[in-house]
Structure 1
Amino acid sequence: MTIKPLVKPAPLIKPLTVPAPGALLELLKPITWFAPMWAFACGVVSSGSGIEGRWPVVLAGILLAGPLVCATSQAVNDWFDRHVDAINEPQRPIPSGRIPGRWGLAIALCWTLLSLAVAALLGPWVLGAALFGLGLAWIYSAPPLRLKRNGWWGNAACGLCYEGLPWFTGAAVMAAALPDGRIVLLAVLYSLGAHGIMTLNDFKSMEGDRRTGIRSLPVQLGADRAARFACLVMAAPQGAVVAALAAWGCPWHAALVAALLAGQGGLMRRFLADPHGRAAWYNGTGTLLYVLGMLTAALALRGSAA
């Protein structure tokens, strides 16, 4: 007598050999492009130069800051983080198999070359900044240096790439030369503050980071101490910006940045009550006030240059 199986075997699914539709865009994480694009725009504004007739250059710079250099850093990070993501975010394109084989690495390399080609069209200062930023993106994620293994170095590299370099690049594009020293100072200060913003992103992956040897600041310091440190690092450079704007004869802009900082202080108190649970919430609220302060400072320099 033949016994029929109770459950019909599932058909075999052929493994993907090319990226699934939509997986490429997910790999490049468009949501992360806003910060460098905003910083680039702040650089353009702070330069004091008019953009009439220069829209193609400005748009190319925004493209370079977000969909090219920032997207490259995301692809590089996802490739070298694929084992960590298999624990923290198994639905990501690479660990889930929607970007199969070594396609992730190939995409990262192609986006790097494309970014350099566009940067070269925008002049030597922009090309130099792009080379520096892309270099940081690779050593942040790739062995043997893999800066992200230590939150002190990794967050500093990210802050510089997300805020300082795009700001510098935006000003350099407009001036076709080394930007004014005040612009460089503001770019550096907001890069330092972004170190704290980068720490906010590490709270969600503490378990996977511990298991894979990633020494993020929440892992090293614990959630409470890391949260207090992040708040301090975000606030202190903004205080320095307020002092600098006041010294440069921009009291109203200084007062507005101070008010935005005070608003962040109120939100920080709520964040510190539950760092692990509210890190993403603060990233979406306090960070908005932070970037509005960036634009305010850029407008102050534009006004003083007029």
Structure 2
Amino acid sequence: MVSAHVQTWRPYTLAYPGLVGMAGAALPPGQPSWAQLALAWAAATLGWVSGHYLGDYFDRELDAISKPQRPIPSGRLPARTARSTGIGLAGLVLATLLVVNWRVSLLALLTVVVMVSYGAFLKSHGLYGNFARGTATGLALVCGSMLTHPVPPPMTMLAALAFLCHDTASNLVGTLRDIDGDERGGYLTFPVRYGVRATVRLVAILYTAAVVMVFAVVPDSALLFGAAAFGVASLWTLRTVSPGRALRAHELLVIERLLLAAALLPPKIGFIVLIPALALTLPTQRRMRAPYEFPEGHRA
């Protein structure tokens, strides 16, 4: 069962939410302590893992059709265990933030509601689900900001909007990978309704908007230029679309978004935290990603 839990965590995604939370805490005029940065990282990361458990719980019937190798449909992780673990982690985050700052706990509660709504019913309803997923990331950044600012400064809200657009685009790329399974499961995702080309165009628009907004926040960050290069490579991969190419495009975005989030941190901190983030993400994505997304022999 331990391996089933590790697969549910998606280790190749775990570095990202913590960086987003830390970025919110560090945005000007904040001068966060390491304790505040650590709390922002931990709250966002545990909330992210909670979302994975609950998302897999709500997706268990669809996964039984298109991804039977995943922990719940394969029987390696009982559905009730995934549900109780997800609820428990969310409760731990909310209780901790309530002690630290009750205002942040209310915003974190809203984030949990958005994530549960995404997994429970919005995911199957096109852009509503995609925007819900992006909204959760934007709220995580604002939660991090409120650990160091009584009221989030304007730059925080612009950065949050950027990550809302970015993760909406990223989530849409994921739907390109899952078109066949979503159709069989009755999920009316954006590409199921409007087709691949319309989805890729929307991804490009949202991604461009996200990068432009982040450039407005940190116009001279070398990491941001690196992130944009990976983003362009991801979009180029989608010039033709298959499940395998959509996965490769998202794999590039998994790296890109680490650079994007680290770009919002002070340069020294950004490079310090980016190194272990990449050290966790690159090997685990290479070894674990495709088997989690595709039954054996189905990647194309």
TM-score range, shorter chain: 0.7 to 0.9
Which residue does 2:12 correspond to in 1? 31
Which residue does 2:239 correspond to in 1? 272
Q: CA separation in 2, counterparts of 1:109 and 1:222? A: 35
Which residue does 2:136 correspond to in 1? 161
Q: What is the correspondence of 1:164-243 to structure 2 with a 5 Å cutoff?
A: 164-175=138-149, 177-242=150-215
| 8 Å Cα contact 1:47-1:174 kept in structure 2 | no
The verdict on how the C-alpha distance between 1:21 and 1:286 changes in structure 2, with shifts beyond 3 A counting, is closer
Q: CA separation in 1, counterparts of 2:203 and 2:114? A: 21
The verdict on how the C-alpha distance between 1:36 and 1:101 changes in structure 2, with shifts beyond 3 A counting, is closer
Report the TM-score when normalising by structure 1. 0.78
| 8 Å Cα contact 2:22-2:265 kept in structure 1 | no
- Shift of residue 136 of structure 1? 0.8
Q: CA separation in 2, counterparts of 1:100 and 1:297? A: 39
Which residue does 1:50 correspond to in 2? 31
| 8 Å Cα contact 2:177-2:242 kept in structure 1 | no
Q: What is the correspondence of 1:60-75 to structure 2 with a 5 Å cutoff?
A: 60-66=39-45, 68-75=46-53
- Shift of residue 182 of structure 1? 1.7
The verdict on how the C-alpha distance between 1:290 and 1:102 changes in structure 2, with shifts beyond 3 A counting, is closer
**Bigger relative CO (Cα 8 Å, ≥ 6 apart):** 2
Q: CA separation in 1, counterparts of 2:212 and 2:39? A: 33
Which residue does 1:150 correspond to in 2? 125
Paired amino acid for 1:277: G
The verdict on how the C-alpha distance between 1:106 and 1:293 changes in structure 2, with shifts beyond 3 A counting, is closer
- Shift of residue 286 of structure 1? 4.4
Which residue does 2:273 correspond to in 1? none
Q: CA separation in 1, counterparts of 2:63 and 2:140? A: 28
Q: CA separation in 1, counterparts of 2:86 and 2:227? A: 37
Unpaired runs of 5+ residues, structure 2, are: 270-300
1:106 and 2:84 correspond = yes
Report the TM-score when normalising by structure 2. 0.79
- Shift of residue 237 of structure 1? 2.9
The CA deviation string for residues 233-257 of structure 1, in whole angstroms up to 9 with x for no partner, is 1112322443x34xxxx7534x974
Q: Classify the secondary structure of the residue corresponding to 1:39.
A: helix
- Shift of residue 291 of structure 1? 4.3
Which residue does 2:220 correspond to in 1? 252
Q: CA separation in 2, counterparts of 1:103 and 1:252? A: 46
| 8 Å Cα contact 1:36-1:65 kept in structure 2 | yes
Unpaired runs of 5+ residues, structure 1, are: 1-19
- Shift of residue 92 of structure 1? 1.3
- Shift of residue 82 of structure 1? 0.6
The verdict on how the C-alpha distance between 1:127 and 1:47 changes in structure 2, with shifts beyond 3 A counting, is farther
| 8 Å Cα contact 1:141-1:147 kept in structure 2 | yes
The verdict on how the C-alpha distance between 1:220 and 1:123 changes in structure 2, with shifts beyond 3 A counting, is same
Q: CA separation in 2, counterparts of 1:138 and 1:227? A: 26
The verdict on how the C-alpha distance between 1:275 and 1:186 changes in structure 2, with shifts beyond 3 A counting, is farther
Percent identity between matched residues is 25
Q: CA separation in 1, counterparts of 2:229 and 2:77? A: 44
| 8 Å Cα contact 1:263-1:289 kept in structure 2 | yes
Question: When the two structures are aligned, how many residues end up with a matched partner?
Answer: 268
Q: CA separation in 2, counterparts of 1:159 and 1:111? A: 21
| 8 Å Cα contact 2:60-2:72 kept in structure 1 | yes
Q: CA separation in 2, counterparts of 1:170 and 1:121? A: 15
Paired amino acid for 1:57: Q
The CA deviation string for residues 160-197 of structure 1, in whole angstroms up to 9 with x for no partner, is 212x122112221122x111112112211221122111
